Amino acid sequence: MTDGRPSYTPTSVADELIQRLQVMPKIELHVHLEGATDAATVWELARRHRVTLPAATLEEWQSLYTFRDFNHFIEIYLLAVSCMQTPDDFAFMTEQFLQRQAQHNIKYCEVFLSASYMLDKLPQDEIIAALLEGARRGEAASGTQLRFIPDFTRNLPESRQRVLDFALKGREHGIFIGLGMGGKEVGFPPELFVDVFAEARRQGLHVVAHAGETEGPSSVWGAIRSLQVERIGHGVRAIEDPLLVEHLRQTQIPLEVSPYSNYRLKVVPLDQLHPIRTFMDQGVSVTVNTDDPAMFSTDLTGEYILLARQGFTWDELWQLNVNALEASFLSPEAKAVYRAEWQAFAARVASTPLSIPDSA
């Protein structure tokens, strides 16, 4: 299917369940600021900064968001990133992002920055100031909070130290909490980056890495054993190694799973149920995320509805949401506040039984 939606016959979902998922307080752990910026904004930034895109109209540019594969996605993603150039751009993108997150009742999110590319454009202090201003305005308008995780692009390995320095400087302002790694897995295994992850851990930063998306279980093993990450971005191809799945169950290292992303990039075939079901059934800690929502035509509510159409019950969907809270890098005190609020919400909805939808 050309829109990237699964081609199997979905399960009918009660209207009440959809409404419940819409109002459910949420946390998101794997979303990229750049990939959450809509095509119209990118188009306007391109015009403003005289960046030539391979499209004559906004509609043509939007049509390029139908991706052939992961490499095509990266090509379009980098074109979009090339349009994001000034402090005002990053402040506006952050403010806009928070307002959109709030539309789905996302209370808190941990947001990746493609820092390897940012740092080629502006001094660190200017970027940090812009992100702080955008976060301040966005949080005031929406009530949604965020923290950033700068990630370096593994296929630009020479950028890793600069990104670590950037993450440490941003932490001084209270807005950065960790170090991540993205980019092309093929040819750039985790073992190449032991040095920067060891230093990040020594400096007290949280550490995460994309792994097990376009590469198999060895990439996930490397992130765990060599980088000692606290969470895995994607990780869905861990399903190919039963010993790895069992290790994830035992250690409860969370996976940041993004179902629509996996379908749109053909990591998961369109005619198959998403492996998040198997992970959950086997006791692995899994969370639901959007990855690059503007580029994949998704949002966090829609991700949960997709899983509902694959047979997930309300209790299971709620547990996935709770998993995100527990896997977040919030302080124990902040988690306790959210936990109390969420328990009150769960108690309220429990008093309203869901109807059984007609068969599809």
**Assigned domain for 118 exists:** yes
Q: Say which residues have a Cβ less than 8 Å from residue 129's Cβ, sequence separation at least 6.
A: 87
The angle at the Cα of 143, spanning 141 to 145, to the nearest 5 degrees, equals 115
| Residue 45 burial (C-beta neighbours within 10 Å; 0-12, 13-18, 19+) | buried
Pairwise CA distance, residues 352 & 189, whole Å: 49
Q: Largest Cα–Cα distance of the chain, in whole Å?
A: 58
> For residue 359, what pLDDT is reported?
47
What pLDDT does residue 9 have?
72
Catalytic residues: 213
DSSP 313: -
Report the residue count for the chain.
Answer: 360
Report if residue 7 sits inside a domain. no
Distance of CA 127 to the CA centre of its chain: 21
pLDDT of amino acid 283: 98
Instruction: For residue 57, give the 3-state DSSP assignment.
Output: coil
Number of domains forming the structure of the chain? 1
Q: Where are the alpha helices (DSSP H) in 83-159?
A: 87-102, 115-118, 124-142
- The DSSP output letter for 176 is B
- Containing structural domain, residue 267: 15-350
Distance from C-alpha of 352 to C-alpha of 169, rounded to nearest angstrom: 48
**272/289 Cα distance (integer angstroms):** 19
Q: How far apart are CA 120 and CA 108, in angstroms?
A: 29
In a structure prediction context, what are the per-residue pLDDT tens digits for the chain, which is 360 residues long? 344 555 567 788 999 999 999 999 999 999 999 999 999 999 999 999 999 999 999 999 999 999 999 999 999 999 999 999 999 999 999 999 999 999 999 999 999 999 999 999 999 999 999 999 999 999 999 999 999 999 999 999 999 999 999 999 999 999 999 999 999 999 999 999 999 999 999 999 999 999 999 999 999 999 999 999 999 999 999 999 999 999 999 999 999 999 999 999 999 998 899 999 999 999 999 999 999 999 999 999 999 999 999 999 999 999 999 999 999 999 999 999 999 999 999 999 887 777 666 544
Residue 6 inside a domain? The answer is: no
Does residue 359 fall inside a structural domain? Answer: no
Q: What is the DSSP secondary structure assignment for residue 331, as one 8-state letter?
A: -
* Residue 355 maps to a domain: no
Residue 83 included in any domain: yes
Q: CB count, 10 Å around CB of 334? A: 14
Beta-bridge mates of residue 50: none
- Give which of 13, 143, 4 is closest to 70, Cα–Cα: 4
Structure tokens at 190: 């985790």
CATH code of the domain in which 340 resides:
3.20.20.140
Q: Determine the Cα–Cα distance for residues 74 and 71; give it in Å rounded to an integer.
A: 5
Q: Is residue 264 part of a domain?
A: yes
Residue 187 located in a structural domain: yes
